[in-house]
Structure 1
Amino acid sequence: MSFSKLFSALSKTRGAIRGALGRVLQKQVTESTLEELESQLIIADLGIQTVDEIISIFQKEKQENFLSSLKHHLCSVLNHRESFIEEKDLPAVILVLGVNGTGKTTTSAKLAYHYTMNGLNPILIGADTYRAAAINQLRQWSNRLNVRFIANEQTKDPSAILYDGLISAKTAQSDVVIVDTAGRLHTYKHLMDELGKMERIVKTKFPEFTLRSLLTIDAGLGQNSLQQAKKFQQYIDINGAVLTKMDGTAKGGIVFPLYTQTQIPVYFTGFGEELDNLSPFNIEEYVNSMVGN
């Protein structure tokens, strides 16, 4: 995603934040105006901790220095390693996880495109055994990308499909194995337990692969996504997240409580259906797009 597209995608979030700041900066700073600022920043889903820190900066800094100090602080909050998969991690398995409707299948295809463009040899595994359309969709994407695709519509066991896929990946000397999993809610314990089983297969049967779990998060759901992330963490280690459906979200601040409360960093942002509509998360660009100049 180019900076201009990201800037456009975060227009509602930026409008909410700048509107709140503008209204307060035009008034005398009182307890009432600070409460107004706090409520508007919370609506943008920045999270209580980050909002309190912003209020503190607002009280300490001169007006002309506030925006630069705010950006610097927000960038420092999201201080994590830059790449989801680093060279030392290869070969790697990416389990793409999330609740229904967060864009896992499309994200899996976009990841395959991303890593192909970066000179790697990815393989796609269709392990969503509950939705035949997901298998067909991923097969079509793999054909477009000319990427190896593994699925087995004769079984309902995603772990068996994963095992066969990793055998194939070893034979093909694939660098990155991208696994599209079924959408699931934490209330379905047997589905959540499946994730633990898949995790164990990679770690015990294929220790040469680095396992990385990527949570797909609908950017428009805000705090609901944060609660979903916490539930998933009870069953499997989550190494990172991708913000999907970024188009015009007013809740772009969710990246901050996601990291401060769960230590899950965002590594990708995406919108739209095209393969190139996924970009590595750039902290400075995101903050600049969210806050403005």
Structure 2
Amino acid sequence: MVFNPLEKLFNSLKKTRESLSSGLNKLKGKEISAESIEELETVLLMADLGVVCTEDVINKLKKYGNKTNLLDVLHNELLEMITVKYKANVLETDYKASAILIVGVNGTGKTTSAAKLAAYYTNLGKSVMLIGADTYRAAAAEQLRQWSVVANIQFVSNESSGDPSAVLFDGLKSAQAKDIDISLIDTAGRLHTYKNLMAEIGKMHKVVTTKFPDFQLETLLTLDANLGQNSLSQAKKFHEQTSVDGIILTKMDGTAKGGIVFPIYRELGIPVKFIGMGETLDDLIEFNAEDYVQSLIG
């Protein structure tokens, strides 16, 4: 079977699209009017765009003339909202190698996302190493080890160490010696209120920037798409306390709240870089704004 990322994205947004379709179908062919604007506002809120994003879209649509096709303009405005320039990804860098820290709360799919990313970059011809730096959850390192075997990817961890920064240091030393392109670091689940655990992320950042200056550092936050606006709150609190370069939005196939992408961009300015769905290694795609909006509203 040929891997088709657009088809995967379309399928993953099925529940969100279904929640939108009845409302949007009523608006097809309609011109902008007070009545159609009000109907659209309800539809967007139901898709979890949130109050701020919905108001932004509505205010922009009101500036168009009454003869304008509502859905055509909606498509363009939604696309503009999530088409932003941001830090180059690890494939567009002058650095010799890259270290990607994967952070987030428990249950958002950090370990699985690390494995999926490893497979993704391997398929692009990059040499990859998985580093198990979750020293709090005993099963995490073993889970990552099993994924590394399935994907035939190098794996480093130290289950006898309680210091994730030490594990990270040893892992990157190994990656450096083996001339690995991309190191993916699985970290412990943490809430923003866990001050010691949040401080650990800062310590790990420092390990990379001071001990491995040839490595580009990127921090990706995993968010469970099922949580909708609660995921936005998580992202805000993480971003306040540590540098987050991008989002991996997980479990997209199980939610009708796929509109959460828009407030993440609008309120945080953090790009969604990957979308995860399903349980297999290839159930991860790089985020593409045009494909996303097209799959969402057609």
TM-score by length of 2: 0.90
Match of 2:50 in 1: 47
Does the alignment pair 1:154 with 2:155?
A: no
Which residue of structure 1 aligns with residue 195 of structure 2? 189
Aligned to 1:75, which of 70, 76, 79? Answer: 79
Deviations 1:36-70 (A, max 9, x none): 43233122121333312332454425577322222
Number of aligned residues? 292
The structure-2 alpha-carbon separation of the partners of 1:61 and 1:98, relative to structure 1 and needing over 3 Å to count, comes to farther
The more displaced of 13-22 and 271-280 is: 13-22
Matched, 1:3 2:3: no
> Counterpart amino acid of 2:45?
I
Contact 1:230 1:262 in 2 (8 A): yes
Alignment of 1:269-280 (within 5 A): 269-280=275-286
Write out aligned runs for 1:23-34 (5 A): 23=26, 34=37
Aligned-partner residue type, residue 134 of structure 2: D
- Cα RMSD over matched residues? 2.2
Q: Structure 2 matches for 1:13-162, cutoff 5 A?
A: 13-23=16-26, 34-59=37-62, 60=64, 65-81=69-85, 84-88=89-93, 89-162=95-168
Q: Does 1:198 align with 2:204?
A: yes
1:224 Cα deviation from its structure 2 partner:
0.6
Match of 1:236 in 2: 242
Would the alpha carbon gap of residues 43 and 186 (structure 1) be closer, same or farther in structure 2, given more than 3 Å must change?
same
**1:19 Cα deviation after fit:** 2.4
Secondary structure of 2:241's aligned partner: coil
Equivalent position of 2:170 in the other structure: 164
Runs of 5+ consecutive residues of structure 1 not aligned to the other structure: none
Worse-superposed segment, 79-88 or 110-119: 79-88
Provide the C-alpha distance between the structure 2 equivalents of 1:145 and 1:81, rounded to a whole number of angstroms. Answer: 32
User: Counterpart amino acid of 2:90?
Assistant: I
Name the SS for the 1:227 alignment partner: helix
The 1:62–1:289 alpha-carbon spacing in structure 2 relative to 1, beyond 3 Å, is: farther
Give, in angstroms, the shift of residue 256 of structure 1.
0.8
Q: Distance in 1 between matches of 2:145 and 2:294?
A: 37
What stretches of structure 2 of length at least 5 have no aligned partner? Answer: none
Letter in 2 for 1:85: V
Residues 21, 54 of structure 1: alpha-carbon distance in 2 compared, 3 angstrom cutoff = farther
Query: Using the alignment, how far apart are the partners of 1:249 and 1:61 within structure 2?
Result: 35
Q: Separation in 2 of the partners of 1:63 and 1:267? A: 36
> 2:148 & 2:276 partners in 1: Cα distance?
19
Aligned-pair CA distance for 1:32: 6.5
Alignment pair present for 1:265 and 2:271: yes
**Structure 2 contact 31–70 (Cα < 8 Å) conserved:** no
Residue by residue over 1:96-144, the C-alpha shift from the partner in whole angstroms, topping out at 9 and shown as x without a partner, is 0111101100100011111111111111000111111111111111122
